[in-house]
Amino acid sequence: MLQNKIPTLDKIIPEAEDFLPLLGTDHVEIIVGNAKQSAFYYMTAWGFQPLAYKGLETGSKDSVSYVLKQGKIILVLTTPLKSGGDLNNHLNDHGDGVKCISLWVEDARKSHQETTKRGAKSAFEPKTLSDEHGEVVLSAIHTYGETLHVFVERHHYEGVFMPGYRAWNPEYTPGETGLLFIDHMVGNVDWGQMNQWVDFYNKIMGFAQIISFDDKDISTEYTALMSKVMSNGNGRIKFPINEPAKGRKKSQIEEYIDYYEGSGCQHIAVATDDIIKTVTSLKARGVDFLYVPETYYDTVLERVGKIDEDLESLKKLGILIDRDEEGYLLQIFTKPVLDRPTMFFEVIQRCGATSFGKGNFQALFEAIEKEQESRGTL
């Protein structure tokens, strides 16, 4: 059973209105070509645990979903069972990708009303799903591209996930890798659209802008991008929004837009409290990470100062380090986890820091450019 008691959360971003309010990320739904095989990948490589299942056996005739959980992170992997329809259209246009960033709320009806009256486009009206374990109320609005925000109200539900799903208990359950919760999720949008979606999160969802990076902050010899980070009032939900900027060659954002064929979720940042142990486990299970030249580590401590971790261990794994006024952070990025060069993951450990690794941008983007060059998309 999932956590369904409404927590009391302090407001830490005073500029945010927080009229919904949001309690956290409920789940992320990824539309995939083969949910059974994708579930095996996320269990085997990432250590997610089986939670729930929906398919023909539960009365779902058009789609199948496997629900996986690790820490507070819930992934829903969904595949269409027949040709045609919205799920197949999503796969045809985008390949595998995030469809729903679902947000845990106290009141899904109020969340829908508050956002749509401010200008959000409704994806579906509030609806109640019920079974012998109680009820879940869902509603949804559109955000960038074909991505949805689904509002999930579940404090009257005691079942495994939500009505329509049954518990999934396969014999195969590889151990966890130490992932705790979603730190942030990044959206890539097309040329000139970043401020439009910053305004969307500000005016329609009550978020505040907490950080802004322009093309002088995020650029290399060849490519550039711009980014603004939006947060809700309690800081549980953080959405950086990226758009391309002019450069000599094609940036990673342009590559994403080309192959995703539109705006969408670029990466999911997952938190750990022991990044050395987590990344060691992920690498042993076959997860591929971006390579950072060893020279990065020659001067990094001059920039970030004292850290608790052994530098050689971080260097061996390719983990990046950055510091802000609040502390430091450790982060590493995977290569794309799909056939199209679109979605990837970030693993992050915050040791007080509240920022997003500005000091690592140069090394990170040069590593990404090497990958783009190998794909012929730079």
pLDDT band at 14 (very low <50, low <70, confident <90, very high): confident
Can you give the pLDDT at residue 3?
64
330 vs 274: CA distance, rounded Å: 10
Q: What are the strands, taking DSSP E only, across the chain? A: 22-31, 49-54, 63-70, 73-80, 97-105, 122-131, 134-142, 148-153, 166-167, 179-188, 208-213, 224-231, 238-245, 264-272, 320-324, 327-333, 344-351
205 vs 199: CA distance, rounded Å: 9
Of 277, 266, 268, 275, the C-alpha closest to 244 is: 266
3-class secondary-structure state, position 279: helix
pLDDT band at 116 (very low <50, low <70, confident <90, very high): very high
Q: pLDDT digits over 66-104, tens only?
A: 999 999 999 999 999 999 999 999 999 999 999 999 999
The mean per-residue pLDDT over the stretch 224-228 comes to 85
The answer to whether the Cα torsion of 130, 131, 134, 140 is positive or negative is: negative
Separation of first and last alpha carbons in the chain: 46
Q: pLDDT digits over 313-366, tens only?
A: 999 999 999 988 999 999 999 999 999 999 999 999 999 988 877 767 677 767
Low-confidence winner among 147-156, 181-190, 197-206, 247-256 (lowest mean pLDDT): 247-256
User: Which residues of the chain does CATH 3.10.180.10 include?
Assistant: 22-167, 179-375
Counting residues of the chain whose pLDDT is more than 90, the rounded percentage is 77
The mean per-residue pLDDT over the stretch 247-272 comes to 93
Can you give the pLDDT at residue 151?
98
List, in order, residues 6 or more apart from 65 with CB less than 8 Å away: 29, 35, 53, 54, 55, 76, 77, 78, 79, 165
Question: Is 179-375 assigned to CATH 3.10.180.10?
Answer: yes
267 vs 263: CA distance, rounded Å: 12
Residue where the block lists tokens 């060069």: 341
Phi, psi of 211 (to 5 degrees): -145, 150
Q: pLDDT digits over 16-59, tens only?
A: 888 888 999 999 999 999 999 999 999 999 999 999 999 999 99
Residue 2 has pLDDT above 70, yes or no: no
3-class secondary-structure state, position 243: strand
Can you give the pLDDT at residue 355?
82
Q: pLDDT digits over 187-197, tens only?
A: 999 999 999 99
Q: What is the DSSP pairing of strand 73-80 with strand 122-131?
A: unpaired
348 vs 154: CA distance, rounded Å: 28
Whether this prediction's pTM lies above 0.75 is answered by: yes
Helix or strand holding residue 90 (H, E): helix 85-94
284 vs 96: CA distance, rounded Å: 24
Residue where the block lists tokens 């890798």: 177
DSSP letter for each residue of 162-220: STT-EE---S--PPP--EEEEEEEEEE--TT-HHHHHHIIIIIT--EEEEEE-TTTSB-
Structure tokens at 362: 């140069």
* Number of residues that this document lists for the chain: 378
Which class does domain 22-167 fall in?
A: alpha beta
DSSP letter for each residue of 39-83: HHHHHHHH--EEEEEESGGGT-SSEEEEEEEETTEEEEEEEESSS
Can you give the pLDDT at residue 219?
65
Q: CB 16: neighbour CB atoms within 10 A?
A: 25
Of 168, 117, 109, the C-alpha closest to 140 is: 109
Q: CB 198: neighbour CB atoms within 10 A?
A: 20
List, in order, residues 6 or more apart from 96 with CB less than 8 Å away: 30, 31, 32, 33, 38, 338, 339, 340, 343
